[in-house]
Amino acid sequence: MSLHEIEHIATASGGIIYIMGLLLFIALTLVIERTIYLFRALGAGKRLMIALDEHHAPSVQKLKELSLHYQGMPHERLLQTAVMLRQEPDPAHEEARMEEAIMREIPHIDRFLWMLDTIVTLAPLLGLLGTIIGMFNAFSVLSDANNAPTQVTGGVAEALIATACGLFIAILGLVAFNGLNNRVRVIMHHLETIKVMLLNRVKSTRKDKSGIAANTEVA
């Protein structure tokens, strides 16, 4: 298909094809950016859980090192909260503090996914609109008695291209959206697991200190 034919089809659809081209570009950009970020976050979560398995009672310094290592990742705020709880113990609200840290990271994890969801819904509707506009143009040739009826079928075929483009964008976007949503779900599970691991280690450290203090008093 030549550039001239593409321009002709886009014009016949009332310019809807150009809009859908822009939507496709935005969707691909979002998918690539979110895939890279979520892939890094998944890897970071797995590595952090392995690191915490190796340290049953990590020191404040170790938690600070881990926080710097995972800077820019959603796990950083959890580690910073764990450092704060180690330095300023708050047994009554420590779980709420960790939960707050997770809630603050959620908007960063699923950022821009609403735009992809909107494109998945909008693209077929725009395609249908482009087809309707193309149908008007196709049947308008019948107003001229000199035009052959076969011109209508050609115009209808061109009009249906808009619907096909809209469905193509929606299918690609839907597959990507569901895949990214699944990664978000796994990352949230990682954060919940890391929260419990950090709380257990903060509590175990507190018990160890209280046990040492009790032994000192007995001695």
pLDDT in tens, 128-168: 988 888 887 777 665 665 665 555 666 677 778 888 999 99
Q: Which residues of the chain have pLDDT under 50?
A: 211-219
Whether 72 is in a domain gets the answer: no
| Whole-number pLDDT of residue 133 | 83
| Whole-number pLDDT of residue 143 | 62
| Whole-number pLDDT of residue 213 | 44
Give start and end residues of each alpha helix (H) in 55-149.
60-69, 75-87, 94-109, 113-139
Among residues 75, 76, 83, which one has the least CA distance to residue 58? 83
Q: How many domains does the chain have?
A: 1
Could you tell me the pTM of the whole model?
Answer: 0.80
What's the Cα-to-Cα distance from 99 to each of 23, 169, 188, rounded to whole Å?
36, 37, 11
Whether 64 is in a domain gets the answer: no
Whether 199 is in a domain gets the answer: yes
Whether 196 is in a domain gets the answer: yes
DSSP state for residue 64 in the 8-state scheme: H
Whether 53 is in a domain gets the answer: yes
Domain that holds residue 153: 3-57+109-141+148-207
Six-digit token string for 15: 């310019």
Calpha distance 60→67 (Å, rounded): 10
The Cβ of residue 187 has, within 10 Å, a number of other Cβ atoms equal to: 23
Six-digit token string for 101: 């840290």
Whether 86 is in a domain gets the answer: no
Whether 186 is in a domain gets the answer: yes
Whether 215 is in a domain gets the answer: no
Six-digit token string for 205: 């450290």
Among residues 1, 2, 11, 12, which one has the least CA distance to residue 151? 12
